[in-house]
Amino acid sequence: MGIHVIKMPDIGEGIAEVELVMWHVKVGDAVTEDMILADVMTDKATIEIPSPVHGTVAMLGGAAGQVMAVGADLIHIEVEGAGNLKPQSAAAAAPVQAAAPAPAPAAPPVAPAAAPAVDKPAAVPAAAKSAAAPAAAATAASTRVAREAGERPLASPAVRKRAWDMGVELQFVHGSGPAGRILHSDLDSYVARGVQDAPSAGPGGYRENHTEQTIPLIGLRRKIAQKMQESKRRIPHFSYVEEIDVTELESLRARMNEQWGKERGKLTVLPLLARALVVALRQFPQMNARFDDDAGVVTQYGAVHLGVATQTDAGLMVSVMRHAEALDLWSCATEIGRLADAARTGKATRDELSGSTITISSLGALGGIVTTPVINHPEVAIIGVNKIVERPMVRQGGLVVRKMMNLSSSFDHRVVDGMHAAQFVQAIRALLECPAMLFVE
């Protein structure tokens, strides 16, 4: 038997270090060739690291959230044959195969959990359910789990809710899942032993909650935090909000969907907004720009590479629809849908997540009345879309119900004056309120 060492690969583009986002294996797991071992993240994309060999995981070279240098030991795999561990490193490799992992030169060996499937609750005997009542608890200190102060027990939301309903403090429950994750079966065992130290609940189950959670920012969430901080630190934002009557726009959209929806797909408001933005940028090219504030240079683009902010389970990502100026409504709708799916499933490429020249941010039905969107650095403008609501409006001296939508837009005040920002938004408004103008060349 030998040890095959997989090092952090050189991903290119001059990247010297990457963040280890997630392990898909743990120490002792059998792996096969091409099996995904870990996810790592650069400044632009998440990369999957596959295994080049068959074998058994002997050591993990870092923990989720750790920044590792290119060339550092990522993982040691025990394989048939000699492996690729150099002879001079054999002494250091010996402890890796021992039952208790020893520190490796690159990083301390750890075994973070891969995301397990949530186990289903086992049936709880009536006697156990009775024992789970908050008032009927006996303490057994010898069987408690010792956790450090502030350490959060690992458990799925379903397990946490069930523990809450049972009056069980997860702080004292032993977890038998990966990395000590607490499973439903662990709750059953805990209750069956009569190990309970929760204060009695008040009427209706109310009781004081003194739990605290420490949640590290890792992976995409860390990148989002850094990006937003950089944007707010470097860009003096100002926002401009305008309400728009989209009654005629919505009527046109309904007619188009009725006539062509089945064969071409249903249109949302977003492709129409993208079209209005493209047309308005012909008058205001300074908005379709990127500002290199280190060099003091603003670059205006003829191509509209439209960023579309997309919410995913991992966090906010900006997918880039390239050459929006060359797309018709249905091509635009198809591309927006494709990019959103790629972002949500983690299949978006580096090019699909970078290079935007102006961005649209929309929360859809959750859009609220007003937002203050953060500019996607190094761009100079972002258009925030709020929800469409019916409101009473005065038109020609009469009260009528109209469909209204606010645009909440932010601009870089270093290169965009307030008057130009207002004129730009008013140009978009004029196009959306008279949608036939979207198609007049």
- DSSP bridge partners of 298: 291
φ and ψ at residue 311, rounded to 5 degrees: -85, 125
Asked about 197 being catalytic, the answer comes back as no
Number of other CB atoms surrounding residue 56 within 10 Å: 16
Please identify which of the residues 54, 237, 413, 420 carries the catalytic annotation. Answer: 413
Strands (E), 73-183: 73-79
Q: In the Cβ-directed half-sphere of 199, how many Cα atoms lie within 13 Å?
A: 7
Q: Rounded to whole angstroms, what are the CA distances from 199 to 63, 114, 270, 294, 380? A: 35, 34, 52, 58, 55
Residue 36: strand, helix, or coil: strand
- Using a 10 angstrom Cβ sphere, with 0-12 exposed, 13-18 middle and 19 or more buried, the burial of residue 366 is exposed
DSSP per residue over 198-234, as a string?
A: PPPP-GGG-------------HHHHHHHHHHHHHHHH
- For residues 342 and 314, what is the distance between their CA atoms, to the nearest angstrom? 13
Please identify which of the residues 10, 43, 165, 417 carries the catalytic annotation. Answer: 417
- Asked whether the beta carbons of 77 and 58 are under 8 A apart, the reply is yes
Task: Quickly count helices (H) and strands (E) in the chain.
Answer: 9, 16
DSSP-based helix, strand, coil % in the chain, nearest 5:
35, 25, 40
End-to-end alpha carbon distance in the chain = 72
Asked about 210 being catalytic, the answer comes back as no
Q: Residue 199, preceding bond cis, omega within 30 degrees?
A: no
Q: Give the residue numbers annotated as catalytic, written as ranges.
A: 413, 417
